[in-house]
Amino acid sequence: MNNNDLSIIFTASLVASSCALLGCFLILRKMAMVGDAISHAVLPGIVIAFLISGSRDSMTMLIGAGLIGVLTTFLIEFLHKKAKLQTDASIGVTFTWLFAIGVVLISLFAGKVDLDQDCVLYGEIAYVPLDTLIVGGQSIGPRALYIMGIILTIIILFIWIGYKELFLTTFDPAYASAIGISTTLWHYLLMGAVSATTVASFESVGAILVVALLIAPAATAYLITDNLKWMLVIACIAGIVASITGYFFAVWLDGSIAGAIAAMAGAIFVLAMIFSPTHGILMKKISAQPES
């Protein structure tokens, strides 16, 4: 295994851990598809940022995409609260509308924008080792490693500092409001964290893999434990295992790394669904059998 292999695996593991931690709260709040909405809805932000700046610099793209990502969460909440739409309906309306605007902008300014829908959506984690961070004329490693390392650190601090508030607003928002905790504030803080993570991640690994890592590891942990702290830990482990096994699976198949990681995340979920000691299909069948 060479440095390039390690860079890809470490990047995937950092993305998986970041997404898994936030995915746990999204699963529990029944908002699992918010990550999918944000990852698609940021397309117009990327195009607009390019048109304004004329640059494909990563930071410019991240700012444009991040602003649209935050706007997406506001629109979802606005449609849910003011238009009385179900959460899934408001998510669907918001992300299809914004994504369509992005596609239209690309088609209108195709001659000026050196982007296409495929490169924005699918990304390619195999190229991570090629985009290095240069300091003092020296390469200090892949840029994605540093970006995702910072993102993961921020998410861990966010959850550690606001664990009580996130716990209460997730499981008992009425009680949280009664004791003075703003459910709206913590909702937007969580959605802002999801937006930042999604935008920072999909530039390197693609939106499809980000969505898979937001949902599958958290759903796996949800089946295995009913304790939130353990759920966060197990989700990270499931994401990291999917990243490692998925990479070697892709090398063995000589196929897409992102696709293989997403496939392994799904396979791990299926194993949990069957063998989970609390919610597994096999355990339920065993416990349902009458004692002789």
Domain segments of the chain as ranges = 3-123+172-288
The answer to whether 221 touches 23, Cβ cutoff 8 Å, is no
Q: 138 φ, ψ to 5°?
A: -115, 140
For 129-168, what is each residue's pLDDT tens digit? 877 877 777 778 888 888 889 999 999 999 999 999 999 9
Q: Does the pLDDT at position 280 exceed 80?
A: no
Q: Does the pLDDT at position 291 exceed 80?
A: no
CB neighbour list of residue 122: distance below 8 Å, 6 or more residues apart: 206, 207, 208, 258
The answer to whether 20 touches 237, Cβ cutoff 8 Å, is no
More confident of the two residues 181 and 81: 181
Q: How confident is the model at residue 199 (pLDDT cuts 50, 70, 90)?
A: confident
Reported CATH class of domain 3-123+172-288: mainly alpha
For 162-180, what is each residue's pLDDT tens digit? 999 999 999 998 999 999 9
More confident of the two residues 93 and 111: 93
